[in-house]
Chain A
Amino acid sequence: MLHIVACIKQVPDTKIIKMNPKTNTMDRASAPAILNPYDAHAVEEAVRLKKKYGGTVSVLTMGPPPAVKAIKKCIELGADEGYMISDRAFAGADTLATSYALTKALEKIAKQRPIDLVICGKMTIDGDTGQVGPGIARRLNIPPLTGVKKVVEINKEKGYAIVHRKLEDGYEVVQSTLPCLFTVEKDINDISFAPLPNMIKAARYQPTIWTADDLEDVDRKQLGLKGSPTIVSKVWAPPKPEGGELLEGSTKEKVEQLLSLVLAKKELFQ
């Protein structure tokens, strides 16, 4: 029986977020909070592996109390257990401090039920770094397998996993010892529709919530803003390019002008 933990994050939907042009900060109220789209694929894959090999899927997140909603979404997708670490001490964490706090929570979860596999999304859409997953793997001292686009086999008895890792021009087939950590690509699976029993379970579900004090052997200097080596020194609106020349005239005239601009690069068409 496998114990798979998916690490997830609730994020503002950056596609529709509005910025305050005066302060260059996000107007968080303008964007709905969603389960990070890449993490949904991580949970989906964990649930599929559970169906194939048997076991338990837990999800873990770090966030403010409203992030419970993201865990409920994972329960809808088929996760069995949800864990959340939530504390002001975690606030302002960069990727290094985030991977530290999540690792401490994973260690606590593993004491209750040893972990065979950790799955993370490729990256979050608000942080856009992809650094937390590999960071957790290093801290747990398990192999990180990034860019996983297919899981070929998990063999707990013999203690290995075989996956396809995406390369820039193809993929590689990699075997790793278990336990290990995957970060998964979006094309690893299509998200299934949540069956009704899962929806009902999710509506009532309350995750286990831990504060920093609930975690063991925590070095508080490594948490949150204090434990973050990187700081944002300034934010600014992206430089506005000068803008192009708009072609004028009737549609036909515009098309002809465009044609000569493109065909002027005649070496491309010879």
Chain B
Amino acid sequence: MNFDDYRGIWVYLEVKDGNIAPVSLELLGAGRQLADKRKTELAGVLIGSGVKPLAQTAVTYGADVVYVYDDPIFAYYRTEPYMRALLDCCEKHKPEVLLYGATPTGKDLASAIATDLPTGLTADTTILDIEEDTGLLLASRPAFGGNIMATILCKKYRPQMATVRPKVMKALPPDPSRTGRIVEEHIALREEEMRTKVLEIVRETTKKARIDEADIIVAGGKGMGSKEGFQLIHQLAEVLGGAVGASRDVVEAGWIDHHHQVGQTGVTVTPKIYFAIGISGAIQHVVGMQNSELIIAINKDPNAPIFQSCHYGIVGDAFEIIPLLIERFKEEIPKVKAAADVKEEIRHA
């Protein structure tokens, strides 16, 4: 393996609901920094059906080159055809680094590619850096349930690959004046050869606000004592019009469904306000919420690590504080609403 043949930082561009997935735009932002440091190109690989127009979007977000595989066989994600396309691209153009979002699709694809190439793959990376002169990728991630951080290297194989947690890296502001090369690629795949078929896609639109899109999240931990005690978290979330989050302990205890789990093995969230109530603040939880705009912690243990990871904290008993908060919010929120309505009326008058 001649390392000099492998050049460029690549991002696998995941397509979601007809657009490039937010995590892929974030990776273009992170990849741009790596490419600039290494003085090399940033490329995106776009696979799908009817996706060619999205290539220009990738350019505005920082890509110098976009390789496009546009074919009906890629109408929805399946490991086999997507893997064959990406392997084809890797063989032709030999990237030095290849990054994927740590989404179900990104992880599925990356695992398959790593086995076939073969090369090393670091999962759920939260910090990325590159050695300017050697091109060695420094991929760091929380390990052992978030008890430590570990930096993983892949010294003897290329490309170096990593999946990266969503909402950790920052996308660049789109720049419509940026230009880049768009390269159409083809691979001959026949539907009859595919061993899997998607029969149906079912979107589950939950009534409750989706936790990864909510502006306000009220999250509770083991400190709520029981499933019954945890109801207070639901009540506070309802008053605030927010979503309910939970620590891993709570999900494992069966107090709430794991869709609500925030942290390394759950979802990463970045709401405007995040309440961590009765949550000790293990790093595995904190990595999932640390980029929230305003983090408020309530815990009766003044030494709980959560107080290191919040903006404001209250040392106290949640069972005393939450009912008071609910009561006061019920009084005050309508006033905020009313004031806004008055302003609106004046504007229309």
Within 8 A of A (CB), among B130-169: 138, 142-157
> Does residue A121 face the partner (Cβ distance < 8 Å to B)?
no
**Which one, B3-11, B32-40, B112-120, B227-235, is touching chain A?**
B112-120
Determine how close the nearest CB of chain A comes to the CB of B79; give it in whole angstroms: 6
In the complex, which range does the number of interface residues on chain B fall in? Answer: 35 or more
Q: What residues of B have a CB within 8 angstroms of the CB of A187 in the complex?
A: 257-258
C-alpha gap A261/B297 in the complex (Å): 13
Q: Which of B16, B79, B146, B290 has the most CB of A within 10 A?
A: B79
Separation in Å of the A264 CB from the closest CB of chain B?
Answer: 9
B16, B119, B138, B144: the one contacting A229 at CB < 8 Å is B119
- Name the A residues within 8 Å of B112 (CB-CB): 134-135, 137-138, 144
B67 close to A (CB within 8 Å) = no
Contact A229 B283 (CB under 8 A): no
B324 adjacent to A168 (CB under 8 Å)? no
Which residues of B93-125 have CB atoms within 8 Å of chain A's CB atoms? Answer: 103-104, 107-108, 110-112, 114-116, 118-124
Nearest-neighbor residue (CB-CB) of B259 within chain A: A187
In the complex, the answer to whether B149 meets A173 with C-beta atoms within 8 Å is no
Q: Is there contact, CB below 8 Å, between A229 and B198?
A: no
Q: How far is the CB of A47 from chain B (nearest CB, A)?
A: 21
Q: Is A29 an interface residue (CB 8 A)?
A: no
| Minimum distance in angstroms from B278 CB to a CB of chain A | 15
Looking at the assembled complex, report how far the CB atom of B18 sits from the nearest CB atom of chain A, in whole angstroms.
14
> Is A197 in contact with chain B by the CB < 8 A criterion?
no
Whole-angstrom distance from the CB of B309 to the nearest CB of chain A?
Answer: 5
A254 at the interface (CB under 8 A from B): yes
Q: Is B315 an interface residue (CB 8 A)?
A: yes
Instruction: List the A side residues contacting B308 at CB < 8 Å.
Output: 240-244
| Of A59-67, A106-114, A123-131, A202-210, the one touching chain B | A123-131
Residue B272, interface by CB 8 Å: yes
**Total number of A residues with any Cβ neighbor in B under 8 Å:** 83
- A237–B148 touching, CB < 8 Å: yes
Q: Please tell me which stretch of A2-10, A13-21, A71-79, A82-90 contacts chain B, meaning at least 4 of its Cβ atoms lie within 8 angstroms of it.
A: A13-21
Residues B307 and A232 in contact, CB atoms below 8 Å apart: no
B309 touches A241 (CB 8 A): yes
CB contacts (< 8 Å) of A14 on chain B: these are 144-145, 147
When distances are taken between beta carbons in the complex, the residues of chain B under 8 Å from A177 are: 195-196
Interchain CA distance A238-B118 in the complex, whole Å: 31
| Contacting residues, chain A, for B336 (C-beta < 8 A) | 263, 266, 269-270
Docked-complex contact A229 and B154, CB < 8 angstroms: yes
With both beta carbons as reference points, the residue of chain A lying nearest to B204 in the complex is identified as: A170
B45 within 8 A of A: no
B149 touches A255 (CB 8 A): no
Q: Establish whether residues B311 and A244, one from each chain, have CB atoms under 8 Å apart when the complex forms.
A: yes
Q: How many angstroms from the CA of A236 to the CA of B286 in the assembled complex?
A: 16
**A211-255 interface with B by 8 A CB criterion:** 228-247, 251-252, 254-255
Supposing A170-B203, A241-B309, A268-B273 touch, asked if A233 and B196 sit within 8 A by C-beta, the answer is: no
Report the Cα distance A231→B142, complex, angstroms. Answer: 15
- As a 0/1 sequence over residues 58 to 91 of chain B, the CB contacts with chain A under 8 angstroms (1 = contact) are 0000000000000000001001100000000000
Cβ-defined contact, B273 with A135, below 8 A? no
**A134 pairs with B203, CB closer than 8 A:** no
Give bound CA distance, A117 to B272, whole Å.
45
Task: Find B142's partner among A19, A126, A170, A238 (CB 8 Å cutoff).
Answer: A238
CA of A146 to CA of B152 in the docked complex: distance in angstroms? 24
Whether A186 sits at the interface, judged by CB under 8 Å, is yes
- The reply on A24 being an interface residue by CB < 8 A is yes
Closest-CB distance, B7 to chain A (whole angstroms): 19
A157 at the interface (CB under 8 A from B): no
Q: Are A125 and B151 in contact (CB under 8 A)?
A: no
Q: Which of A24, A131, A240, A243 has the most CB of B within 10 A?
A: A131
**Residue from A232, A266, A269 within 8 A of B151 (CB atoms):** A232
- Does B314 touch A at the CB level, under 8 Å? yes
Interface residues of A in 1-50 (CB under 8 A from B): 12, 14-15, 17, 19, 24, 26, 37
Question: Which of A143, A235, A246, A269 makes the CB contact (< 8 A) with B195?
Answer: A143
* Residue A194 at the chain B interface, CB threshold 8 Å: no
Determine whether the beta carbon of B147 is less than 8 Å from that of A261. no
Residue of B111, B258, B328, B333 near A255 (CB, 8 A) is: B328
Question: For the complex, is B201 an interface residue (Cβ under 8 Å from A)?
Answer: yes
B293-324 vs A: 1/0 string, CB under 8 Å?
01111000010000111111111100011001
11 residue pairs from A and B, CB less than 8 Å apart: A96-B120, A144-B108, A171-B201, A171-B204, A235-B143, A236-B151, A238-B286, A239-B149, A251-B320, A258-B325, A266-B340
Interface residues of B (CB under 8 A from A): 16, 76, 79-80, 103-104, 107-108, 110-112, 114-116, 118-124, 138, 142-157, 195-205, 210, 215-216, 240-241, 248-249, 252, 257-258, 264-265, 272-273, 283, 286-287, 290, 294-297, 302, 307-316, 320-321, 324-325, 328-329, 332-333, 336-337, 339-340
Give the B-binding residues of A (Cβ under 8 A).
12, 14-15, 17, 19, 24, 26, 37, 94-96, 99, 123, 125-131, 133-135, 137-139, 143-147, 162, 166-177, 180, 186-187, 228-247, 251-252, 254-259, 261-263, 265-266, 268-270
- What are the 6 tightest A-B residue pairs by CB atom distance, in nearest-first order? A14-B145, A229-B120, A134-B111, A129-B123, A230-B120, A270-B340
